[in-house]
Copies of this chain bind each other. A is one copy, B any other.
Amino acid sequence: MSAVTSEPNGTTTEKKGLREGAFGNASALSCRECGNQIELGPHYACPECFGPLEVAYDFPAVTREEIEAGPRNIWRYKALLPVPDDIEQSPNTEPGFTRLLEAKNLARELGIEKIWVKDDSTNPTNSFKDRVVACALSAAREFDAKVFACPSTGNLANAVAAAGARAGIPTAVFIPSNLEQPKQVNSAVFTDNLIAVDGNYDDVNKLAQEIAAEEDGWAFVNVNVRPFYAEGSKTLGYEIAEQLGWRLPDQIVIPVASGSQLTKVDKAFKELVKLGLVEEKPYRIFGAQATGCNPVATAFKAGVDAIRPVKPDTIAKSLAIGNPADGIYVLDATRSSGGAVEEVTDDEIRSAIVLLARTEGIFTETAGGTTLAVTKKLVDNGLLDPSLETVIINTGHGLKTLDAISGIVGPRATISPNYDAFEAAGLSQA
- A377 close to chain B: CB less than 8 A: no
Determine if B357 and A162 form an interchain contact, defined as CB atoms under 8 angstroms apart: yes
Chain A interface, number of residues (Cβ within 8 angstroms): 88
* Per-residue interface assignment for chain A, residues 388 to 425, with 1 indicating a CB less than 8 Å from any chain B CB and 0 otherwise: 00000000011110100110011111111111001001
- A47 close to chain B: CB less than 8 A: no
Determine if A190 and B357 form an interchain contact, defined as CB atoms under 8 angstroms apart: yes
Which residue of the partner chain, among B188, B195, B363, contacts A190 with CB atoms under 8 Å? B363
- Nearest to A216 among chain B residues (CB) is B430
- A221 close to chain B: CB less than 8 A: no
- A185 close to chain B: CB less than 8 A: yes
State in angstroms the CA–CA spacing of A427 and B147 once bound together: 11
- A199 close to chain B: CB less than 8 A: yes
Stoichiometry, as copies per complex, reads 2
State in angstroms the CA–CA spacing of A173 and B86 once bound together: 47
> Which residues from chain B contact A72 at a C-beta distance below 8 Å?
72, 97
> Which residues from chain B contact A185 at a C-beta distance below 8 Å?
402, 405-406, 409-410
* Per-residue interface assignment for chain A, residues 317 to 350, with 1 indicating a CB less than 8 Å from any chain B CB and 0 otherwise: 0000000000000000000000000000000000
Q: Which positions in A face B, CB cutoff 8 Å?
A: 72, 91, 93-94, 97, 99, 101, 104-105, 119, 122-126, 146-147, 161-166, 168, 172, 175, 177, 181-182, 184-186, 188-199, 203-204, 206-207, 210-211, 214-218, 353-354, 357-363, 397-400, 402, 405-406, 409-419, 422, 425, 427-430
User: Which of A124, A191, A353: most chain B Cβ within 10 A?
Assistant: A124
Which residue of the partner chain, among B101, B405, B419, B429, contacts A189 with CB atoms under 8 Å? B405
Given contacts A147-B429, A203-B417, A399-B186, contact A211 B122 (CB under 8 A): no
Determine if B414 and A358 form an interchain contact, defined as CB atoms under 8 angstroms apart: no
Which residue of the partner chain, among B105, B194, B405, contacts A410 with CB atoms under 8 Å? B194
Which residue of the partner chain, among B125, B214, B409, contacts A419 with CB atoms under 8 Å? B214
Q: Would you mind naming 10 contact pairs between A and B with Cβ atoms under 8 Å apart?
A: A147-B429, A162-B361, A166-B362, A185-B409, A189-B363, A190-B357, A190-B361, A207-B418, A210-B418, A211-B422
